[in-house]
Amino acid sequence: MSNIYGQNIKISIFGQSHSPAIGVTIDGLPAGFAIDTNELGTFLQRRMPGQGKHTTERREADEPEFLSGLVDGVTCGAPLTAVIRNTDTRPSDYDRLWDIPRPSHADYTAYIKYGETRDVRGGGPFSGRLTAPLCVAGGIFLQLLKREGINIAAHIVQIGGIADSEQMPAAIEEARQAGDSLGGIIECAAVGVPAGIGEPMFDGIENRLASVIFGIPAVKGIEFGNGFAAAGLRGSENNDAFFMSGGSVKTRTNNHGGILGGITSGMPITFRVAFKPTPSISMEQDSVSLSKKENVKLTITGRHDPCIVPRAVPCVEAAAAVAIYDVLLA
């Protein structure tokens, strides 16, 4: 069940880092929608590694094949399935990972949950690679939402504690050279969502968005509107005054992030997502041998992304699109 999300639409994500393919099935798309595959491709490109350098050749590799749900590129009402082949699935040397869990990865918890037969290759089903089918689904929902006048956009507000976007690349490069990694915070806004969408209590916009967003690996927190900062404010500071604006009700400020009682107010939905630093670092770390039940030292080799935050921006947009489209249909 863990890989299925949605109430009015359902997305079902499958695959592991080194399985033959990864993909997604979307159940509940309206019939008659012509997917703009160029726009989708451009969107998927944003989560690709090495942007700006090797973009083109990698993009080919991640181009989704649509197995069902379309007739001549137009949705027909049947579930849409898109798959992306894992081209590089040669049996690498994962013997060490099989026995020694990487700190702050899911290696150990996967071992406890799935046992000896878990898929350890490249993180298996916990791999960040699974965000590719999430972005395929999200990319399609972004197109559908745009048609309804709803636009979703995310951006980085902080990487490794640095809020200045010009200094971020240098900080990432410095972490890379140190064999270390950085986390960060992404902010997202959805503009154009009409007032009155959502439900009280357990199916509020916050609940539904959080349910998808925590599906992105490395996310450790989410806050809406003023979020944690609101805890330090007074009601007179945090309350958003209503006023009439051209016949419709608006608020002068948007400390509530567009959501009151779980339901949209018509103001932009705003939220921030905290990403922990990539747990894969080159430095020697303390771990254990699961077979020998003893402490060991672990050095993770190979190339690692010192900061996944830039590539996570479209993932946050995709997750938000899935959640908001789902709630819109309720």
- Report the site for a second copy in 93-152 (rule: CB under 8 A): 101, 103-106, 108-110, 112-119, 121, 124-126, 130
Cα separation of 174 and 180, whole Å?
8
Among 225, 268, 310, 314, binds a second copy (CB under 8 A): 225
What would the two tokens of residue 118 be? 């878990």
CA neighbor of 142 nearest in space, from 270, 10, 43, 268: 43
Taking the complex as a whole, the smallest distance from the CB of residue 124 to a second copy amounts, in Å, to 6
Which residue lies nearer to a second copy by CB, 48 or 280?
280
Residue 207 binding a second copy, by CB under 8 A: yes
Hey, how many other C-beta atoms are within 10 angstroms of the C-beta on 156?
20
User: Which of 50, 54, 61, 71 touches a second copy by CB under 8 A?
Assistant: 71
Q: What CA–CA distance (Å, rounded) separates 10 from 299? A: 40
For residue 308, the tally of other CB atoms under 10 A from its CB is 25
Task: Return the number of the residue (54 or 149) whose C-beta is nearest a second copy.
Answer: 149
Given 3, 37, 51, 89, the residue binding a second copy (CB under 8 A): 3
Site residues for a second copy, 296-315, by CB under 8 A, read none
Q: What are the beta bridge partners of residue 289?
A: 294
Does residue 38 touch a second copy according to CB under 8 A?
A: no
**Shortest CB 146 distance to a second copy, Å:** 19
H/E stretch holding 259 reads: strand 259-260
Indicate the SS3 state at residue 275. Answer: strand
Nearer to a second copy, 191 or 260 (CB): 260
- Contact between 306 and 278 under an 8 Å Cβ cutoff? The reply is yes
Q: How many CB atoms are closer than 10 A to CB 130?
A: 23
Which one, 55 or 283, has the nearer CB to a second copy? 283
Per the listing, tokens 């996967």 go with: 110
How many residues of this chain interact with a second copy, rule: CB under 8 A? Answer: 148
Nearest to 254 by CA among 317, 191, 163: 191
In this chain, which of 129, 136, 141, 181 binds a second copy, going by CB under 8 A? 181
Q: How far is the CB of 55 from a second copy (least distance, A)?
A: 26
d(CA 52, CA 31): 36
Q: Is 328 in the site for a second copy (CB under 8 A)?
A: no
Return the H-helix or E-strand segment holding 153: strand 151-159
d(CA 10, CA 177): 42
Rule CB under 8 A: which of 155-174 touch a second copy? 158, 160-161
User: Which of 60, 64, 46, 128 is CA-nearest to residue 311?
Assistant: 46
Closest separation between CB of residue 312 and a second copy, Å? Answer: 11
Identify the H or E element spanning 47.
Answer: none
Tell me how crowded residue 21 is: count the other CB atoms within 10 A of its CB: 17
Span near a second copy by CB under 8 A; candidates 40-48, 135-143, 145-153, 208-216: 208-216
Does 274 engage in binding with a second copy (CB under 8 A)? yes
Angle of helix 131-147 relative to helix 309-328, nearest 10 degrees?
50
CB of 48 to a second copy, least distance (A): 21
Q: Which of 43, 141, 275, 325 binds a second copy (CB under 8 A)?
A: 275
54 vs 254, which CB is nearer to a second copy? 254
Among positions 232-261, residues that touch a second copy (CB under 8 A) are: 232-244, 247, 249, 251-252, 255-257, 259-261
**Site for a second copy contains 77 (CB under 8 A):** yes
Question: What's the closest the beta carbon of residue 58 comes to a second copy, in angstroms?
Answer: 20
